[in-house]
């Protein structure tokens, strides 16, 4: 599961997503920077290495879409 964290959208200028299993657990899930390049900000505690690598591949494939959605979400949240 991949999601945006509203705190990040409102308080950070660098786009990111969170990745985890099941319900959102922002303190223990992985955080991935989308810009300026895709990189792991925090590996988290729930994903195994192969699961995190698989998520990174999906994020890479969908990077343009995720960035567009992040910026749209940010614009709406700051109104």
Look up residue 77 and give its two tokens. 């949240």
CA distance 78 to 44: 28
- Please say whether the beta carbons of 44 and 26 come within 8 A: no
pTM for the structure as a whole:
0.87
Whether omega before 36 lies within 30 degrees of 0, making that bond cis, reads yes
Confidence grade of residue 35 (pLDDT, cut at 50, 70, 90): very high
Q: Which distant-in-sequence residues (6+ apart) come within 8 Å of 6 by Cβ?
A: 77
Confidence grade of residue 41 (pLDDT, cut at 50, 70, 90): very high
CA distance 51 to 60: 14
């Amino acid at each position: 599961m991949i999601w945006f964290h509203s705190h990040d959208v409102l308080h950070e200028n660098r786009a990111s997503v969170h990745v985890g299993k099941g319900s959102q657990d922002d303190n223990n899930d992985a955080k991935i920077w989308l810009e300026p390049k895709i990189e792991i900000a925090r590996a988290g505690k729930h994903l195994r290495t192969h699961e995190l690598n698989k998520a990174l591949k999906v994020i890479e494939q969908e990077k343009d879409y995720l960035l567009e959605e992040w910026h749209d979400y940010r614009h709406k949240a700051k109104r």
